[in-house]
Structure 1
C-alpha cells in the first residue's frame, strides 16, 4: 500500500506508461483543433462573448461550432435575432460602461431601452457588427451553427423559424458526437 504522498513503484518488468494529457496540446501544428461554444443566453450582452470567441477561433483556423439552446435561440430565431436587449435589472455588477458612473439598483421602466441603445451604440463605435451580421461573418468564415432539439421542441420552433444558415436542429448527444475532442465553452 502506498501513502498519499508517494506514488506506486512500477515493477521492473513493466514500463511506466506516459500519463494521458488532461488538456490537449495546442502548440502542435499537427493538432486538429475544434471549439464547441454553447450559447444559452439571448440578451445582448451575453450574445457577443460567444460570437467574438468563435470569430477569433475561426481566424486562427480552428474548426468552430456554435450550439444554441434555451434563450440563446433568440440569436438565431428570425423574428427575434435583430431585437436582442440588454437589461440592467437584477444585475448587481451593473454600471454604465462609462468611467466612474454607476446606476442605482432601482431601474426605471424605460431603462432596458436606454441601456440597450447605449450598449448598441458603443458596440457599433468599436466596429463590431450587430448579432445577425456577426453570425453571417462567422458562417462565411466556415463556422457551423446548430440548434438544440429539446429547446426547439419546448419553444415549438422549426427550421423555418431559424436563420437559413443554421445547419440543423440536433440533440445534445449529436452535438457532442459531432464535436468530439473539442474544447467546450458554455456561455
Structure 2
C-alpha cells in the first residue's frame, strides 16, 4: 500500500482509482519515522555545526580575528543604537584590513574613538548641564552601551563554545584597554575644566 504525497490519499490497488483518503491522526509509512532517526539526525547536525565552529575559530590568529570581529560588531551595534550612526565606523568599512587590525589595542582604539566622537554632539544636546555633569552622563551612557555589546559578544562566542584561550584573553584585554582609554579621557577633560 502506498501513500500519495500530493493528495494525501492511500493507493490500495493498481492505480489512483482505488485511492482512499487517509484518516486524520493516522500515520502513514513516511510520517511514522522512528524517534531514533530524528535524534541521530539532530546529533549529526550538532556535530557538523561543531566542526564548522572549530574550523572557524581554531585557525590560530584567523580564528581570533573572527572572534574579535564578533566582539567589535556587537559593541558597535550597541554604541550606534545609543549614540547614532553618523560618525560610526561600520564593519563594512573595516572588512579587508591588515592582520593587526583586530589586535586588542587597535580594536579598543576604534571602539573608543567611535564613541568619543559623539561627545561634542552630546554637549550641544545637553547645554543646561554643567561640564562635569555632561562628561559623567556621557561616559555613563557609552560605558553602558560598550558593556552591553561586550556581554552580547560573550554570549555569541560562548554559545559557539569558543570563548576560551586566546579569544577570551583578547576580548578581556580589549575591554580593559577600553576602560583605560575612557579613564584617560575623563582625566584629560577634568584637567581642562580645572
Q: TM-score, normalised by structure 1?
A: 0.23
* Larger fraction in strand: 1
Q: TM-score, normalised by structure 2?
A: 0.22
* Larger fraction in helix: 2
Greater C-alpha Rg: 2
